[in-house]
């Protein structure tokens, strides 16, 4: 939320402290001549405002931990009709983002890709379709792996994109791959969980392998882009994650052991952070 307020130019950060900008002092202070507080406060009892207040007060996403709903979702994922609906939802976003992602990276020196938490597998499909020498495997937790297989089979790509059932947090990542991708995955998890996944990738990647993080990233100063700051607040309300900044990701990658980190812009305010495992 502080990042969003910075992107709106309502607060500024200096040495770890936050201060009102001139714009905020002009419109968000009771004593200001042009104060907008009464207008804004008129919205405070709307359900979306109350939900966000609850998230801020508890530190818990509003849709997290609803055991009944989670069980129903898991059972529904085993049904072909729901699986098709779910994977179609993932594909509708990936249809625009995945080809741009696949074209943004030079895969000429690599051959085997592991798509971690890859949902419908659309990013793997785009990579192997554009880079004919590549093969891919999608790692998904049951029962989502069934939806992944459904989507891969529907695309008639099962000969080049396989599906591995597994839990990325509870199990070691499969070995034998020289490329790992996390596409729109890390934003669902907090910093500690992201660090765990990055270390798992470093440990299981082949020497000289690369890690690709395709996501909506904030800039290094965490002042925007505004669209990503807004998306980050949306994620906060429904997951344990947020949009991480490129600086945060770089620091975590270095801590995990990665080298040669670069940021590649794609489309839709998305970017790929590329990092390389050393040869040891």
Which residues are known catalytic residues? 187
What is the C-alpha separation between 263 and 269, in angstroms, rounded? 12
229-234 own/partner pairs: CB under 8 Å, 24+ apart: 229/3, 229/4, 229/6, 229/7, 229/8, 230/4, 230/7, 232/3, 232/4, 232/187, 233/1, 233/4, 233/52
**Cα–Cα distance for residue pair 1/148, rounded to 1 Å:** 34
* Maximum alpha-carbon separation in the chain: 68
Q: Which backbone phi and psi does 138 adopt, to 5 degrees? A: -105, 125
Rounded to whole angstroms, the Cα distance separating 198 from 182 reads 10
Residue 144: what are its φ and ψ, rounded to 5°?
A: -65, -25
Contact present, 202 and 256 (Cβ < 8 Å): yes
**Token pair belonging to 55:** 């998230």
């Amino acid at each position: 939320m502080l990042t969003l307020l910075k992107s709106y130019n309502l607060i500024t950060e200096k040495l770890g402290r936050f201060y009102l900008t001139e714009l905020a002092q002009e419109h968000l202070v009771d004593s200001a001549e042009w104060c907008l507080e009464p207008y804004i406060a008129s919205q405070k009892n709307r359900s979306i405002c109350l939900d966000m207040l609850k998230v801020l007060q508890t530190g818990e996403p509003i849709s997290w931990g609803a055991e009944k709903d989670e069980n129903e979702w898991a059972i529904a994922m085993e049904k072909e009709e729901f699986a098709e609906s779910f994977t179609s939802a993932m594909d509708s976003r990936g249809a625009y983002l995945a080809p741009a992602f696949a074209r943004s990276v030079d895969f000429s020196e690599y051959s085997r890709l592991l798509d971690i938490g890859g949902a419908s597998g659309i990013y793997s499909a785009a990579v192997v379709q554009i880079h004919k020498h590549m093969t891919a495997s999608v790692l998904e937790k049951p029962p989502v792996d069934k939806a992944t297989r459904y989507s891969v089979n529907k695309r008639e790509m099962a000969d080049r994109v396989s599906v591995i059932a597994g839990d990325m947090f509870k199990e070691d990542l499969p070995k034998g791959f020289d490329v790992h991708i996390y596409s729109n995955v890390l934003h669902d998890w907090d910093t500690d969980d992201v660090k765990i996944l990055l270390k798992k990738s470093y440990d299981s990647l082949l020497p000289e392998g690369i890690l690709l993080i395709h996501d909506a990233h904030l800039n290094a100063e965490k002042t925007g882009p505004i669209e990503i700051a807004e998306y980050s607040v949306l994620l906060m309300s429904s997951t344990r994650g947020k949009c991480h900044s490129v600086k945060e990701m770089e620091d975590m990658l270095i801590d995990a052991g990665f080298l040669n980190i670069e940021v590649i812009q794609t489309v839709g305010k998305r970017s790929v952070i590329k990092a390389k495992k050393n040869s040891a």
